[in-house]
Amino acid sequence: MKTLEDHTILYDNECPLCVTYTRAFVSTGMLDEAGRKSYNESVGKIDGVDWDRARNEIALVNHRDHTVAYGADAIVAVLANRFPALRLFTRVRLLRWLMSKLYSFISYNRKVVAPGKVFEGAASCTPSMHYGYRWAYILLTWFIASLVLANYTRLLVPLVPASTFGREFLVCGGQLVFQGFAVWMLHRQRFVHYLGNMMTVSLLGALLLLPAFFLHGMITSPVPYTIYFITVVAIMFLEHYRRVKILELPWVVCFTWVLYRFIVLGIIL
């Protein structure tokens, strides 16, 4: 059990993923008990930290030589201390580049994956807006949600006509345009923030539908799948409502979210 001593990792305490993996670093002995502090409670209290950069990339402070590693380099430093072979992989330029991009993709989108209790609160560890990573996230979730929904409709036949990936992709894209226009008119500063959160809700719905595919061989009636689908949509609505409140958007955004679905349902049926 090799512990990385005299190091402190500064994590976002409003990010469930950050809280979980940094806690695991301590509980498994990779870092000592004092090796984990929240960004929010440490701002300005530790010398040598670029606090603006630390919002975007988790910082690992070395108290011995007063250096700071950020992002993927910080994570690798902790893991490689326990698993030295990991350093061999990071010496490959392509792998290092891929790790850096993957880390940045997750880090810059973490607030739309799991938002805090308030939108960009004082002294919060909210990352800067990176439009490239945000739109990449929107496109990825758009693709996944469309793929899952296209296959799920086959479980609803004959109550609902079977769909195709192309149609679901257009429907999901239509919602992006429909809701995007509504938010742009109401509060354009929240436009991209909202679209990211909305697509996380769509991704949540897609993931909740996945278990139903494992029951297809045992349950052939479309009724249970339809009831489950309605339940998932209800969960999505509640989560969408919660995120709209965090973004301080008017309730009408929830109304248009439901309205679009009824419009699409009317066209399909």
Domain boundaries defined on the chain: 7-110, 130-268
User: If residue 121 lies in a helix (H) or strand (E), which one and from where to where?
Assistant: none
User: If residue 189 lies in a helix (H) or strand (E), which one and from where to where?
Assistant: none
pLDDT of amino acid 123 = 60
CA 55 to chain centre: 16
pLDDT of amino acid 256 = 97
pLDDT of amino acid 131 = 96
Rounded to an integer, what distance in angstroms lies between the CA atom of residue 43 and that of residue 40?
6
Task: List the pLDDT tens digit at each of the 269 positions of the chain.
Answer: 588 888 999 999 888 888 999 999 999 999 988 899 999 888 888 888 999 999 999 999 999 998 999 999 999 999 998 888 888 777 888 988 999 999 999 999 999 998 877 776 656 788 999 999 999 999 999 999 999 999 999 999 999 889 999 999 999 999 999 999 999 999 999 999 999 999 999 999 999 999 999 998 889 899 999 999 999 999 999 999 999 999 999 999 999 999 999 999 888 77
End-to-end CA distance of the chain: 61
DSSP 147-176: HHHHHHGGGTTTTS----HHHHHHHHHHHH
Place of tokens 């693709």: 143
pLDDT of amino acid 243 = 96
pLDDT of amino acid 103 = 94
Max Cα-Cα span within the chain: 68
Looking at residue 228, what DSSP letter applies?
A: H
Measured CA to CA in angstroms, residue 105 lies from 124, 159, 200, 216 at distances of 19, 39, 14, 34
Among residues 169, 101, 173, which one has the least CA distance to residue 132? Answer: 101
Rounded to an integer, what distance in angstroms lies between the CA atom of residue 241 and that of residue 251?
8
Rounded to an integer, what distance in angstroms lies between the CA atom of residue 68 and that of residue 62?
6
pLDDT of amino acid 121 = 60
